[in-house]
Amino acid sequence: MFGCTFTLRPLRCISLSTLRLPSRSFHRSAIMSDLSVQLTAPNGRSYTQPIGLFINNEFVPSKSGEKITSVNPANEAEIASVYAAGEEDVDIAVRAARKALRDPSWKQLPATDRGQLMIKLADLIEQHKETLATIETWDNGKPYSVSLNDDLGEVTGTLRYYAGWADKSFGQTISTTPAKFAYTLRQPIGVVGQIIPWNFPLAMAAWKLGPALACGNTIVMKAAEQTPLSILYLASLIKEAGFPPGLDKVAFTGSTLTGREIMKMAAGSLKNITLETGGKSPLLVFEDADLEQAAKWAHIGIMYNQGQVCTSTSRILVHDSVYDKFVELFKEVVATTSKVGDPFADDTFQGPQVTKAQYERVLSYIEAGKSEGATLAAGGEPHKNVGDGKGFFIAPTIFTNVKDHMRIYREEVFGPFVVISSFTAEDEAVTRANDTTYGLGAALFTRDIERAHRVASEIEAGMVWINSSNDSDFRVPFGGVKQSGIGRELGEAGLEAYSQIKAVHVNMGTKL
């Protein structure tokens, strides 16, 4: 679902993998060079868009000269074509990353100075946040307010957080016997491969760049072919910040199917991997819950970012005594809050799905829900009341009276699409919440503090929200269980994925 494209190494290497698309005209005011174009976005902001591969601190064309084309999902118009990296380009990028890893300008850089570089990068991102938010919205389709206020805040906050950890990740001395002095060194993994999804390009890049750089790694990053533009612009800021010019680790955020394939490939050479894959997260509403708050949070939990969030609480289970009331409240919140429209408009809550393929995927699940006998309570159709009727817009969709065996209950849809069913007892709710191959997130609503902690403990998920949904924080570990992933990102736990411990044994005089 997230595809294969972009290779970025924040020290000196970014490249895009191959995807052929027909060449058509795109909106631009002028070609600046073979490696950049001057673009004007729908909100009137003009900027210089890099289109080359970023290797050894320079933008360069791909060896083949092939390009991929980015499309505006709000009107299906082409934005720009960027160079697509082939196998040879990726090999060059990896060699550059390996060389940089051994270069004294990076290897011997004091950890505190490494943190200062990260802070400078965060400052530059903040200075360019309007441009970055514009690119993200234009390329991805999410509302500009989300790109600017949520995503860019996440990016700078994450980088600054991990900048503070750069000189605080160290080894320890270990008491053994008087004949031995033992200590550990915490060292970088090496060259790190990072795969970025299309739903939060900049934010997910920061989640991976932050801990990897703090631990002293070099990086080869691959963003999605659907949304390469903001990461290429980020590369120019990485260079401006002053970062100096075969993988040892793979970190991935994307679909479970792709995650499985990465595990297979990594197994051949025992690569260290971290995977954050799919989810079908439950949201439980108990009879004593504040139903108005539950409805509002449930709306955020599934409709935010066009439903294109891996932790979306897309299965809502409601106690049968409050089921009807909750459904009406939820429908009202969706109807009055989920305004679908131009992603650059101030009052838009929901923009288009990221691509035509994703748009058609959501529509196919709507048809599956109808054919399986669920009740379509709202939406269930394309939303064509935006602009000239083009674009990949879908009306917020609610299915009720959903049975656990139905595809729409069990499979990840990744769109503004939610299913609601009822339960009669706590143990039933927990059992049904856990009856899934996924285990990324979950939410529950209750005023009973004992029940809240009891259920949170029993739910099989890497994260549980009590009386909220999807309000994550970069200081708190993020990740899943079962087929929702391996390892954790964010927080102090995120550092573990990007460092390794070496034990040193010092003989203090033992003679043989």
The pair of structure tokens assigned to 478 is 């993020």
Kindly give, in sequence order, each residue whose CB lies less than 8 Å from that of residue 59, ignoring residues fewer than 6 positions away.
35, 36, 50, 51, 52, 53, 235, 236
Residue 1: per-residue pLDDT: 28
Compute CA distances 32 → 36, 48, 59, 63, 390, whole Å. Answer: 6, 8, 13, 20, 30
Report the relative pairing of strands 282-285 and 180-188 from DSSP bridges: unpaired
Q: Is pLDDT at 255 greater than 60 in this prediction?
A: no
Length, in residues, of the chain: 512
Q: Is pLDDT at 10 greater than 50 in this prediction?
A: no
pLDDT digits (tens, 9 = 90+) for 32-74: 568 999 999 999 999 999 999 888 888 889 899 999 999 999 9
The pair of structure tokens assigned to 438 is 């996924």
pLDDT digits (tens, 9 = 90+) for 162-200: 999 999 989 999 999 999 999 999 999 999 988 889 999
Please provide the distance, in angstroms rounded to a whole number, between the alpha carbons at the two ends of the chain.
Answer: 61
The overall average pLDDT reported for the chain is: 89
Report the relative pairing of strands 441-445 and 218-222 from DSSP bridges: unpaired
Rg of the chain over all Cα atoms, to the nearest angstrom: 24
Cβ atoms of 430 and 459 closer than 8 Å: yes
Cβ atoms of 162 and 477 closer than 8 Å: no
Q: Kindly state the average pLDDT of the residues 213-235.
A: 92
Cβ atoms of 138 and 454 closer than 8 Å: no
Q: Is pLDDT at 208 greater than 50 in this prediction?
A: yes
- Percent of the chain at pLDDT above 90? 77
pLDDT digits (tens, 9 = 90+) for 287-326: 999 999 999 999 999 999 999 999 999 999 999 999 999 9
Cβ atoms of 242 and 152 closer than 8 Å: no
Which CATH code is given to the segment(s) 6-276? 3.40.605.10
Q: Is pLDDT at 213 greater than 90 in this prediction?
A: yes
> Which residue stretches of 15-151 are H helix?
87-102, 104-107, 111-127, 129-140, 144-145
Residue 270: per-residue pLDDT: 61
Is the backbone of residue 339 left (phi > 0), alpha (psi -120 to 50) or beta?
A: beta
Residue 308: per-residue pLDDT: 97
| Alpha-carbon dihedral 321, 324, 325, 330, rounded to 10 degrees | 130
Q: Is pLDDT at 387 greater than 60 in this prediction?
A: yes
Domain residue spans in the chain? 6-276, 282-472
Q: Which residue from 359, 361, 364, 339 is spatially nearest to 349, judged by alpha carbons?
A: 339
Task: Report how many helices (DSSP H) and strands (DSSP E) the chain contains, helices first.
Answer: 16, 24
Kindly give, in sequence order, each residue whose CB lies less than 8 Å from that of residue 260, ignoring residues fewer than 6 positions away.
none
Catalytic site includes residue 287: no
| C-alpha to C-alpha distance for 364 and 360, rounded to whole angstroms | 6
What is the amino acid identity at position 4?
C
Is the pTM above the cut of 0.85?
A: yes
- List 66, 154, 276, 496, catalytic entry: 276
The pair of structure tokens assigned to 192 is 């790190």
Domain 282-472 CATH (choose: 3.40.50.300, 3.30.70.890, 3.40.309.10, 3.40.50.2300)? 3.40.309.10
Ordered DSSP codes for 132-168: HHHHHHHHH---HHIIIIIIHHHHHHHHHHHHHHTTS
What confidence category does residue 386 fall into, taking pLDDT thresholds of 50, 70 and 90?
A: confident
| C-alpha to C-alpha distance for 235 and 219, rounded to whole angstroms | 12
What is the amino acid identity at position 408?
I
Q: Is pLDDT at 3 greater than 50 in this prediction?
A: no
